[in-house]
Structure 1
Amino acid sequence: MNIRVIAALAAASTLAITVPTIAQDAPAKAEASAPERQVKTRDLAGTFGGQRIAYRATIADTILSDEEGKAEAVIVTTSYVKTPVDTSRPVFFIYNGGPGSGSVWLQMGAFGPKRVAIPSDARDDGAPPYPLVDNPDSLLDVADLVFIDPPGTGFSYLTQGTDAKKYYGLRQDGRAVAQVIRRWINDNGRWSSPKYLGGESYGTSRTAMVVDELEGSTYNDVGLNGLILISTILDFAGREPTPGNEMAYVVTLPNMAAAAYYHGKVEAPSVEAIAEEARRFAIGPFASALLKGQDLPQAEREAVRRELSRLTGLSEEYLEQANLRVTDQRFYKELLRDRGLTIGRLDARYTGTDFDNAGETPDADPSFYGIDAGYTAAINQWARETLGYETDRVYQSIGNVGGQWDWSLGSGWGRNAYLNIAPLIGKAMRQNSGLRVFNAQGWYDFATPFFGAEYSLKRTGIPQDRITWKYYDAGHMMYIRDEDRAKLSADIRTFIRAR
């Protein structure tokens, strides 16, 4: 996600976002059964975090079968393990979001030994070639890395005849990824190694489900040291602007202020300063005004409208017409309408030009189409040409599994209309006193707003003294900005070393 950044940024990219939204709708096709397992390895070396590291790169199929032994899913992992093997080193299991997003975004954009070189300053990636370059910001100096492509993403797939309902869903996906992790740990003799788990966008939701499978399931057999959440989405209802859901406007207001600041529509000493002003206003006077509905006094309405205009750069007239409730889609189109531009959803730094300037919402997300070609080219070149993986399947950077996704938690408590899986992280932390959480957010990310992540993870039942918060001057996939990739890498390095 999950999010491709930009969404792809998705990671991102992302909450793969319907070209982007949280998921796409076309059904994924199962492929032929009785697959032949493929494992390819290469011994390589590079300099990461200032250290020269020799490592073995392995791209391999993990085959999951049903009770009768019939292969149901082929899940591809790409691991980078320092040589000679040191079992005292941490292992970091990584995936992206979507829920149909492949691991390409974090692998080729942030943490893998190679990365794709695309513009860092919110310009589109243009036409090929897209150079693959050494990535000194890879985390291989502090941890072995295992990138996982769940079924329906990357080169991973379901075999012919497999019921997609067994794999495409919150609980089902978490169970499958947990199986892959257990299998990798066992096959590589890493039961005693420190273990970290994490992803981007929907990958943060996947993390909540996987940790519940590893530490909270019947087996409860895999202890974890840390969860690494990038562009977090855990409370889904809190950011959906369904009529009557006022929290969606509260959660996205600080993002609007940050974007307005970036594009020179509001004045502030820094993005941090305007974000804090917007947080206070959003959770205070703004939330109070929205919750009063039609009982909101006129004087209070005018005061709120005036401050809302100052923070967002939108006119009071427009805000009044929107009844103080501006959806993110409308904001992308309205903020720079006077310049004939729209702004990005995954990364509001990006701007685009629509067919015309009269519409209510953008034609597309400029922060999505600005980088997706480069990432797709990079993962195909690396996996096929360098690592030697042989397949005629298309790499699914954003797979078509969303339309089949089961969003219920299967708790047996009725409709489950309010989807918030942050409590699973709280439960894992309460039951494992050594489990810490790292949370990374971009100021300009509307797909997974930073205030929404704060709202989710600061609620009752989640130990606050074991959460590390970090913020970056980019969007959903903050690592596409060179400075923030280096900062993210350094921040996670510090987090892992602090165990």
Structure 2
Amino acid sequence: MKHIFSLFITVFVISLYAEAQNVKVPIDTTIVTNHTTTIKGKAITYKATVGFQPVWDETGVPIASLCYTYYKRSDIKNDENRPLLISFNGGPGSASVWMHIAYTGPRILKIDNEGFPVQPYGIKANPNSVLDVADIVFVNPVNTGYSRMIPGKDGKMPDKKLFFGVKADVKYLADWINTFVTRNNRWRSPKYLIGESYGTTRVSGLALELQNRQWMYLNGVILVSPTEIGFKFDGPVEVANRLPYFAAAAWYHKMLPPELQSKDLLEVLPEVEKYTINQLLPAIVKSGYLDAAKKEEVINKMAYYSGLSKKTIRQHNLEVPKSYFWKDLLRDKEGYTIGRLDSRYKGMDIKDAGDNPDYNSELTSWLHSFTPAINYYYSQELKFKTDLKYNMFGPVRPWDRTKGNNTGENLRRAMAMNANLHTMIQSGYYDGATTYFNAKYVMWQLNANGKLKNRLSFKGYRSGHMMYLRNEDLIKANDDIRAFITKSSVNINKGSKY
């Protein structure tokens, strides 16, 4: 790949300097660099903008400054039909680093084909980026990445309640997106939101907020490793829904019986899903009133599909916590734990005994490679130099959930009101935090009236929470986004109507 830095700075108003140990935050500034890359075998020229755009209070005073990175193809003069993809990560205190330099962006971190860190750390070309079909802006909410609150004239920080909560988050980000779209003349463009993990809660809420308060109608929402987005599936449903994930992780680590292990994963999972819905869920609902013979039958089947011992399942009254599963699956075979967000990863605890792993093996691995990569990338390739710390995970607590999370219902309402709005869900089979079967459950709840099926889709991958770390899935997942954009754009010139 030929990577060209023909650097020019459109606005280099960087007010970053140390004064009495305080680092100033840029409030309204952009730095632009020009680049060339190759995507899907075709040369692509683009400009990358590292910007800071304010969040204002009701009187027009800046109360926060959000850092974003905007990639725009520079070889397309007319962008009225050019899609704009607005990207958020989760946490809710997570920076946009994950999808930015590992999934859809034009540059990705150096890792091996399965997603494990390699040295020397750094950045390389992403020949699978969706920049060929859509411009992309990666947004860091308040206190993530380089984004920060701005103190008032009295030196006091604004009220955290303006930012740190389900509803507050959606409200101020919708205002911010409106300003960004206006400043960059993208009102005519088809618009898509993509969110990962808690970012799916964020973009689900934004779909209706943008539509109802900003009169900005979207073409698509992509939910990557979605949370429950406000749909309730606790109790027996939550417990039963664990089994398909258990089966996937056990299959990967070769802990299933030979007759299952000899099958492909995608042959095993439908069988487990069917059992979960038709047999396991009713059994867990009956709890202690389940017939003894039937309970033993369920224990045998759960052990068969999960790789866990019958004793373990019996001792937990059929309700084995996921944290215990991560600790126990390989306990007697190898003495390793498995990862929460991606169960392909193994960890090593001080003691084999215990109910949960000492640490998240997958997150340790990811931070190993992402942290040096993003810091290098901003300073050396995007030419943004600062003494600000890049917050991989920023301080956003306490996060207000007391007002309720209705974001899934909001997305459903937005889809009902906007016939052009499509939703795609992407999940890794080995994700133990936001499991793929829970993601399917979310999709079913979105289609409660049965009329949205042709605008909802699910895509599964043979990896975990960040399924794009595995190179084979990086290729497939980006291609799925391309296909989603194409499908959701087919009839837009015929009007939004049923």
TM-score (norm 1): 0.87
> Contact 1:215 / 1:223 at 8 angstroms: preserved in 2?
yes
Residues in 1 aligned to 2:212 and 2:194: alpha-carbon distance in whole angstroms: 17
Question: For the residues of structure 2 that align with 1:456 and 1:66, how far apart are their CA atoms?
Answer: 35
Distance in 2 separating the partners of 1:156 and 1:135: 25
Residue 305 of structure 1: aligned partner: 299
Hey, what does 1:264 align to over in structure 2?
A: 254
**Count of residues in correspondence between the two structures:** 452
Contact 2:231 2:442 in 1 (8 A): no
Within a 5 Å distance, the mapping from 1:22-421 to structure 2 comes to: 36-84=27-75, 85-87=77-79, 88-121=81-114, 123=116, 125=117, 128-160=119-151, 161-217=157-213, 219=214, 221-235=215-229, 238=232, 245-266=235-256, 267-268=260-261, 269-338=263-332, 339-401=334-396, 403-408=397-402, 410=403, 416=404, 419=405, 421=407
Matched, 1:425 2:420: no
From 436, 439, 443, the equivalent of 2:429 is 443
Identify which range, 435-444 or 49-58, moves more after superposition: 49-58
Give the drift of 1:69: 2.7
Does structure 1 retain, via aligned residues, the 8 Å contact 2:163–2:169? Answer: yes
- 8 Å Cα contact 2:211/2:414 also seen in 1: yes
Per-residue CA deviations over 1:5-27 (Å, capped at 9, x if unaligned) read: xxxxxxxxxxxxxxxxxxxxxxx
CA distance in 2, matches of 1:147, 1:439: 19
Contact 1:34 1:70 survives alignment (8 Å)? no
Give the CA deviation at 1:478: 0.6
| Structure 1 residue runs without a partner (length 5+) | 1-30, 411-415
Superimposed CA distance per residue, residues 180-201 of structure 1 (whole angstroms, 9 cap, x where no aligned partner): 2111111111111111111111
Identity %: 35
Deviation of 1:382 after TM superposition, in Å, equals 1.4
Q: CA RMSD in A?
A: 1.8
* Aligned amino acid, residue 327 of structure 1: P
**Counterpart amino acid of residue 330 in structure 2:** L
- Once residues 58 and 419 of structure 2 are traced to their aligned partners in structure 1, the CA distance between those partners, rounded to angstroms, is 35
Distance verdict in 2 for CA 1:349–1:238, change over 3 Å: farther
* Cα distance in structure 1, aligned partners of 2:115 and 2:46: 33
Residue identity opposite 2:78 in structure 1: D
8 A Cα contact 2:205 2:408, kept in partner:
no
- The amino acid that maps onto 2:180 is W
- 56 and 35 in structure 1: CA distance in 2 versus 1, 3 angstrom threshold: closer
Q: Note if contact 2:85-2:191 (Cα within 8 Å) is conserved in structure 1.
A: yes
User: What amino acid does structure 2 have at the position aligned with 1:257?
Assistant: A
Distance (Å, rounded) in 2 between the aligned partners of 1:391 and 1:307: 57
- Other structure's SS at 1:109 match: coil
Of the structure 1 ranges 272-281 and 222-231, higher mean CA displacement relative to structure 2 is found in 272-281
Deviation at 1:352, TM superposition (A): 1.1
Q: Distance in 1 between matches of 2:406 and 2:168?
A: 17
CA distance in 2, matches of 1:328, 1:108: 29
Rounded Cα–Cα distance in structure 1 between residues aligned with 2:49 and 2:298: 56
Alignment check: 8 A CA contact 1:239 1:252 kept? no
Q: Which structure carries more relative contact order (alpha carbon 8 Å, separation 6+)?
A: 1
TM-score for both structures, normalised by structure 2: 0.87
What does the per-residue CA deviation read over 1:14-44, in whole Å, with 9 as the maximum and x for residues that have no partner?
xxxxxxxxxxxxxxxxx88885422100011
Unmatched tracts of structure 2, length 5 or more: 1-21, 152-156, 490-498
SS, match of residue 458 in structure 1: helix
Bigger-Rg structure (1/2): 2
Amino acid across the alignment from 1:89: R
Distance in 1, matches of 2:115 and 2:37, equals 28
Q: Is the 8 A contact 2:145 2:390 kept in 1?
A: yes
Contact 2:170 2:202 in 1 (8 A): yes
Between 1:285-294 and 1:453-462, the stretch displaced more is 453-462
Please tell me whether the aligned partners of residues 227 and 436 of structure 1 are also in contact (alpha carbons under 8 angstroms). yes
2:343 is paired with a residue of what secondary structure? Answer: coil
Structure-2 separation of matches of 1:176 and 1:385:
31
Q: 1:274 to 1:49 in 2, by over 3 A?
A: same
1:247–1:442 Cα change, 3 Å: same
Quote the offset at 1:49 in angstroms.
2.6
How does 1:8-27 map onto structure 2 within 5 Å? Answer: none
- State the Cα distance separating 1:104 from its structure 2 match: 0.6
